[in-house]
Amino acid sequence: MDLVLTQIFNGLQYGLLLFLAASGLTLILGIMGVINLSHGSFYMLGAYLSLTLTSLTGDIFLSLALGIPIAFAFGAAIEWLFIRHLYERDHLQQVLLTFGLILVFNEVQRILWGTFPHSVPIPSYLSGSVKLFGLMSYPNYRIAVAGLCVALALAMMFVIQRTKIGRMIRAGESNREMVEVLGIDTRLLFRFVFAAGVTLAAAGGIIAAPIESVYPGIGESVLITSLVVVVIGGIGSVRGAFVGALLIGLADAFGKVFLPEFATGLVYALMAAVLVARPGGLFGRA
Amino acid sequence: MLRRPSALVAIVLTALVVAALLVPFVGGSYAIKFTTRVLVLAIFVISLDFLIGITGLVSFGHAMFFGLGAYSLYFISPQAEAANALVAFPAAILGAGVAAAIIGAFCVLTRGFYFIMVTLAFGQMLFSLFYTSRIAGGSDGAYINVKPEVALFGVTILDFDRRTAFYYFCLAALVLVYLGALGLARTPFGRVLQAIRRNEQRVGALGVNTYTHKLLSFVLAGAIAGFAGVLFATIDGYVTPDLFGWRQSGVAIMMVVLGGVGTLFGPILGALLYSAIEEVLKTGSWVGPIANHWSLGLGLILIAAVLAWPRGVAGLFETHAPPAPPGRDQPSGDLQAERPQRGKALAVEGLTRAFGGLVAVNDVSLKLAPNLVHGVIGPNGAGKTTFINVLTGALKPTAGRIRLDDEDISGRTPYAIARCGLGRSYQRTNIFLPFTVRENCLIAAHARHPSPFRLRAGKFAREEEHEIVHALAATGLSARADARASHLSHGEQRQLEIAMLLASGARLLILDEPLGGMGAEETGRVTALLRALSVNHTVVLIEHDMDAIFAAADTLTVLVEGKLLAHGKPEDIRRDPAVREAYLGRWGQEIVR
């Protein structure tokens, strides 16, 4: 019972982190029509920003506050330098260019930070654990991470539901061609969406760093898993990404305990099952 | 459509083969090993290009078959002796092919981005199976102690432990795989695959089961990838789960795109170029201290290549065919046919199609006699297009029966219905734009005998040629036969649609607004063509142009809000008070006059 509860918590917390990466990915794909394989690299960027900024400032939350604008600017710059050339190109070229970006980012990471894994300290005021429901103890920091993810998700919902740029995003989500017809400045919209996606992924990397430790290639498993989340949820659907991320998080957490040999395979099997039932994903247009 | 390589390409490829033949004489064992890897990777990526560039299936998990081929060698090889390549290689090919059939049966159901992701997922599933389990050494990989040999009756003919012998074997294999893939792409089967890549829906509507074609292509590509995998395992005598991984699949896509998608020779250049860049950046003395960070350079070069050469290296060899001369023939319709043939009769009973609460086609019953032109009219939103989508199988009927002559076709798939002799054209021009007029008709003619196992035009060649010539003459496109469909005028494109239907052997033609967007002179010509076509065909015409349809049709059917309002001869429809009141409304008076 104890184990099941702990795994539910682990699964939800991992799922929420995944959501940060996957929501950006699904918006970039749904609105901009770009398959961004380098999305995992932005999660990695977050993890290493966390490492450096925490050693400078001494606190993970200060790192988050500093890291968010850095990641946003970085995302906007990458969009301007590379991604904007891809809008009119087919999927293959997008795959090729963003794969090239992965190689570049991985190498830059090696040059700047080296190949050894590092750990990022949990702040002292969150180092303990708390007893939940009287039967299990759960680390404080993980709870804080889950809370932060929920806060970021809510902030995102607010932006999407209540602001002008959010209206454009929603319009793009339901019909990409229409946005262009409606005379919305897609250059601005795309740059914002891309930079926001990068920021969300990086924010995930920053706050996950004390849990996961920081190592080269950290972004690749996040990328592949996020792509699975996007497919399960349906391309372009933020709600789908949320549900998909939690599903994958739980499947992964339980798989690791009960089917350790096939934990990774389980995630893909789940995706295959969803696609058989609903070829367009849970919340996608088929 | 894929043509025979130009003289320039043939010269370059021959020069490469000659250079490859010389490598063992001028290079050391390292050069031989490096070139062997390139040859084997080239085989692998040709198979991927067959999938991506010929069939249009972008697989991001193609390395799974490469990995399976490699691991089959490990499983087959005895501990301390050489496996016989004559057993091991076919087994690897067969194993990869069977796996591709099972995995492909599922993957091919999906399209576009979902196909990319599902193939990726299957690749990762296999990767994690071999990585986390203890099969064949798990994540550490495993060694194949003794390399395979080719033995016949216990006599060793080729020992693959000898680098040079294996090298020449791989070179020969690459040449054969390239020529085989090129030949296959130019068979009726391969041409249909290329058409599927451009416009799958259209190929299906011509009567081709696109699913089996795509699946067969997936299996072939998987089998060839398995062959490449078993060769790759022979190079180092070592297998690792990374062979299955998404990076391996990704690199293969890089090589295809870098070389030139859909050219089959481009990927060979891509494999060579990619490997060469990687090798130079890793070991080249002039790169000095940055050799440690070779993948940085590789990444930047890839990015630059995408931005600068969107068509890959092969794009540099492209020659542009001169545009075909303009020309105009008078369409002859079926008037030149030796003897009139009977068109198919169509009967529908109680046909209904609902979308949720909206009933777009409501209990329509109708009989359309053969060899006449039947017009279907109705205001916007009357359910005309839904009606033909149900007739042709693009939508399943909610209720009711559809009979073509005596055959009940209700609820069948579009390609099965098309095979019964019902052909349709689309409201928006729906042809294979990159192909020539003749190639468009060729695809349609192939659909008469659409077995995916048709590798030669064979006994059907004369019949097909005859049909194409006839279809082009009937629609007045003979002079434009070698023009690219994208270069045709709008009117000519609409005529090409009809030509494709004729070439496909359809006996009942459903034409969705064939006159749309045409000027008066073109309208007159096409209307005359439709009349002439009814000598051999039954024609169902959906049209907005009232003058034209009243002039062309033998019977008229009026749909309003999904219901059949009236059906009869044009003059009766013209006088029908219900039609006048309910439908013709504002222009009713004008038509009556």
pLDDT tens-digit readout, B224-246: 999 999 999 988 888 888 888 88
Contacts of A230 in chain B (CB under 8 A): 117
Give the DSSP H or E segment for B277: helix B266-283
Q: Is the pLDDT of residue B323 over 70?
A: no
Give bridge partners of residue B149 from the DSSP assignment. Answer: B84, B159
The model's pLDDT over B558-573, given as tens digits with 9 standing for 90+, comes to 888 888 888 888 888 8
Sign, CA dihedral B216-B218-B224-B229, equals: negative
Residue to test with chain A: of B128, B251, B292, B301, most A Cβ within 10 A: B128
Q: Which residues of B touch A99 (CB under 8 A)?
A: 250, 253-254, 302
Mean pLDDT of B70-88: 82
Residue B388 sits at the vertex; the CA angle it makes with B385 and B393, to the nearest 5 degrees, is 125
What's the one-letter identity of residue B182?
L
- Whether residue B454 is contained in a domain is answered as no
Question: Over chain B, what is the mean pLDDT?
Answer: 84
Q: Confidence band (pLDDT; 50, 70, 90) for B582?
A: low
As given in the structure block, the two tokens for residue B264 are 């089959």
Instruction: Output the pLDDT for position A157.
Output: 85
Asked whether the beta carbons of B485 and B327 are under 8 A apart, the reply is no
> What is the distance of C-alpha A82 from the center of its chain?
20
- The answer to whether residue B384 sits within a structural domain is yes
Closest CA to B67 of B221, B219, B233, B216: B233
Sign of the four-CA dihedral B429, B431, B434, B438: negative
Residue B593 has pLDDT above 60, yes or no: no
Q: Residue B404: which CATH number? A: 3.40.50.300
- Are residues B296 and A108, on separate chains, in Cβ contact within 8 Å? yes
Domain assignment present for residue B425? The answer is yes
pLDDT at residue A195, rounded to an integer? 94
Whether the per-residue pLDDT at B378 is higher than 90: the answer is no
Tell me which range, B129-133, B216-220, B233-237, B298-302, is most confidently predicted by mean pLDDT: B216-220
**In the predicted model, is pLDDT for residue B36 greater than 60?**
yes
How far is the C-alpha of B487 from the C-alpha of B323, rounded, in Å? Answer: 8
Residue spans per domain, chain A? 14-218
Phi, psi of B2 (to 5 degrees): -65, 125
Please tell me if residue A99 touches chain B, with a CB cutoff of 8 Å.
Answer: yes
| Range of weakest confidence among B16-30, B48-62, B92-106, B315-329 | B315-329
DSSP 3-state of B160? coil
Tokens representing residue B5 in the block: 């390589």
- What chain A residue is nearest to B110 in terms of C-alpha separation? A279
Mean pLDDT of B129-150: 77
Mark which residues 50-69 of A lie under 8 Å from B by CB.
none
Beta strand B238-239 with B346-355 is unpaired
Is residue B227 located within the same domain as residue B365? no
Mutate to test the interface with B, among A113, A226, A231 (most CBs of B within 10 A): A231
Percent of chain B with pLDDT over 90: 20
Residues of B in contact with A89 (CB under 8 A): 306, 310
User: Under 8 Å CB-to-CB from A212, ≥6 apart: which residues?
Assistant: A47, A218
Among candidate residues A6, A86, A92, A18, the one with its CA nearest the CA of residue A249: A18
Give the residue on A whose Cα is nearest the Cα of B295. A103
* Residue A102 C-alpha, separation from nearest chain B C-alpha, in angstroms: 7
Phi, psi of A220 (to 5 degrees): -70, -40
Give which of B519, B567, B514 is closest to B543, Cα–Cα: B514
User: Would you call A285 an interface residue with chain B, using a CB distance cutoff of 8 Å?
Assistant: no
Half-sphere exposure of B509 (CA within 13 A, CB side): 30
Which residues make Cβ contacts (< 8 Å) with residue A13, sequence separation at least 6? A142, A143, A145, A146, A149, A249
Task: Assess A272–B contact: CB distance below 8 Å, yes or no.
Answer: yes
Q: Of B234, B265, B296, which marks where a domain is finished?
A: B265
Mean local confidence (pLDDT), B446-463: 69
Residue B336 pLDDT more than 60?
no
Task: Say whether both B235 and B357 belong to one domain.
Answer: no
Does residue B355 share a domain with residue B251? no
Beta bridge partners of A136: A132
| Residues in B touching A92 (Cβ below 8 Å) | 52, 58, 253, 256-257, 261
How many domains would you assign to chain B? 2
| pLDDT score recorded for residue B54 | 92
Closest residue by Cα to residue A224 from A205, A248, A198: A248
Question: Which of B112, B124, B303 is facing A224, going by the closest CB pair?
Answer: B124
pLDDT of residue B102: 93
Q: Which residues of B touch A97 (CB under 8 A)?
A: 302-303, 306-307
CA distance B402 to B428: 25
- Cα–chain-centroid distance for residue B510? 24
- Output the pLDDT for position B174: 95
A115 burial level (CB within 10 Å; 0-12, 13-18, 19+) = exposed
Within 8 A of B250 by CB-CB distance, chain A residues are 37, 95, 99
Distance CA(A35)–CA(A18), nearest Å, equals: 17
What is the structure's pLDDT at B592?
47
Range of the domain at B552: 346-431+506-592
Q: Hey, are the CB atoms on B293 and A97 less than 8 Å from each other?
A: no
The strand pairing partners of B508, in sequence order, are B422, B538
Domain boundary among B265, B290, B306: B265
Choose the closest CB to B113 out of A91, A97, A110. Answer: A91
pLDDT at A173 (0 to 100):
67
CA nearest to B221, candidates B253, B260, B198: B253
Distance between CA atoms of B100 and B61, rounded to whole angstroms? 11
Give SS3 for B103.
helix
Is residue B226, in this structure, part of any structural domain at all? yes
Query: Which of A77, A68, A102, A110 lies closest to A206 in space, CA to CA?
Result: A68
* pLDDT value of position B340: 67
Confidence class for position B55, pLDDT limits 50, 70, 90: very high
**Interchain CB distance below 8 Å, A275 and B129:** no
In the predicted model, residues of chain A with pLDDT beneath 50 are: none
Q: For residue B367, give the 3-state DSSP assignment.
A: strand
Check A96 against B253: CB less than 8 A apart: yes
Higher pLDDT, B319 or B501: B501
Residue B497 has pLDDT above 80, yes or no: yes
DSSP 8-state assignment for residue B119: H
Query: Which residue matches tokens 């020992």?
Result: B159
Judge contact between A256 and A263, C-beta under 8 A.
yes
Give CA torsion, residues B216, B218, B223, B226, to 10 deg: -170
Q: Does A167 touch chain B (CB under 8 A)?
A: no
Cα distance between residue A141 and residue A129, in whole Å:
8
Chain B residues lying within 8 Å of A278, measured CB to CB: none
Same domain for B402 and B534: yes
Q: Which residue of A has its CA nearest to B248?
A: A99
Question: Nearest by CB to A82, which of B117, B261, B303?
Answer: B303
Token digits for A97?
A: 């260019």
Answer with the one of B231, B246, B265 that is the final residue of a domain: B265
Strand order in the sheet with B346-355: B358-368, B346-355, B399-404, B407-408
CA distances (Å), B381 to each of B54, B351, B378, B400, B456, in order?
A: 39, 17, 8, 21, 46
Local structure of residue B334 (DSSP, 8 states): T
Is B586 a residue whose pLDDT tops 60?
A: no
Note the pLDDT of residue A128.
78
pLDDT of residue A180: 67
Q: Above 80 in pLDDT, residue B294?
A: no
User: What pLDDT is recorded for position B325?
Assistant: 63
Does one domain contain both B242 and B352? Answer: no
Strands laid side by side in the B538-542 sheet: B422-425, B508-512, B538-542, B373-377, B555-560, B563-568
Identify whether the C-beta of residue B417 lies closer than 8 Å to the C-beta of residue B411. Answer: no
Cβ contacts of residue B25 below 8 Å, gap of 6+? Answer: none
DSSP string, B420-455: TTEEEE-SS--S-TTSBHHHHHHHHHHTTS--TT--
pLDDT at B286: 62
Interface of B with A (CB under 8 A): 52, 58, 60, 106, 109-110, 112-114, 116-118, 120-122, 124-125, 128-129, 131-133, 246, 250, 253-254, 256-258, 261, 293, 295-296, 298-303, 305-307, 310
Q: Which residues of chain B neighbour A234 with C-beta distances below 8 Å?
A: none
CB proximity A273 to B under 8 Å: no
Contacts of B122 in chain A (CB under 8 A): 268, 272
